[in-house]
Amino acid sequence: MSVDVYQLTIHYLEQDAEGQPRAHQREALISTNAQVCHLLEQLHLAYNGKPAKGYARFSDEKETTMQASVQSWLAQETDFLKLANLATDELIKQLVQHQLTESGYLLIAHYRYLATDYLLFALLGSKEHFSVTPELELASARHLDIARMQLAARIDLTEYQANPQHPHAISFIRGRAGRKVADFFLDFLGCEAGSDAKENSQQVLSSVEEYLTAGEFEPVEKHQVRQQVYQYCEEQSKQGQDVVLKELSEALDPSDQDGFMRYCAEQQLTVAEQFPVDVKSLKPLVKFSGAGAGVSLSFEQKHLGERVLYNPEQDTLTIRGIPPNLKDQLQRFLRGE
């Protein structure tokens, strides 16, 4: 993986005695070295791996504080530290307005991965780690908690500069709070909702199934196609890249690489030519799963009719070859252990 870090600063946000957020800001940028590049590499992977992201674009009706700040910085009218300070002030303002009690280390970075430039805003918490010294004494230190990153947004600068109105040039992690966090980021960045990754992914799911049915594929072929589609989309998501309809069509049916594209056009199916993907929405391509009344089940589609038998008339599932860990639990329970 190749991550080039151009500029980075870190501010610290905390709650004051009145419970209001305030920032301790650096007066200079952090020098770039191998350690900094490794940190941004981990942040990039962690951000790409977050399943629930929203997408947006700057409003074309009015120029907001953040939009003006980013454009001024890109035009080299202001430096990166001033952009970071303005962003921090705007972040605090929106935290107050949205009544979000967040604290931690605010990382603002300009970096490049492969051929794409990004501007990242990430608020990270910290956690304590313990170690043992050579003298067998306990020592502790605080570390950035990258894995639990929940408040972060990123601008694809390469996409934005090529097309300021691109519907997913801006992305953000929705987090567990869902709509509240989405509204916060839309106000913080001064942008409007763009592409809906979940909606686009669900459209792909239904379109692929229609294509398989119309093409009269054999059951084994259907399974292979679903696997290929899912693997392609999953890999794009891990890389932080959009799904491209032409590439998806090639992955779906190598023997007729434009077949899926033609089918979508002929049937007037609304599959976008390029879009961010929500991998979770595509799980039904490869797995059956469900939960209710204290029972949770999940199994790969390829096992239906073989290891897993479904009887719709009796509303039953018969499982052949119970997973070893589940079998062990059942046997121990029956033995009274």
DSSP conformation letters of 204-227: HHHHHHHHHHHTT--HHHHHHHHH
Residue 12 in tokens: 């610290």
pTM score, whole prediction: 0.73
Q: What is the pLDDT of residue 8?
A: 95
Residue pair 129/141 in contact (Cβ under 8 Å)? The answer is yes
Model confidence at 175, pLDDT cuts 50, 70, 90, reads low
pLDDT at residue 19 tops 80: no
CA distance 153 to 164: 17
CA distance 53 to 327: 37
Is the pLDDT at 134 greater than 70, yes or no?
yes
Residue 143 and residue 125: Cα distance in Å, rounded? 9
Distances 142 to 30, 109, 123, 128 between C-alpha atoms, Å: 19, 21, 15, 4
Tokens 């981990």 found at: 42
Residue 276 and residue 285 in contact, taking contact as beta carbons nearer than 8 Å:
no
Residue 71: count of CB within 10 angstroms of its CB: 16
Residue 1 has pLDDT above 70, yes or no: no
pLDDT confidence of residue 176: 58
| Contact (CB, 8 A) for 226 and 87 | no
Helix (H) or strand (E) holding 38: helix 34-49
| Amino acid residing at 18 | E
Q: Is the pLDDT of residue 207 over 80?
A: yes
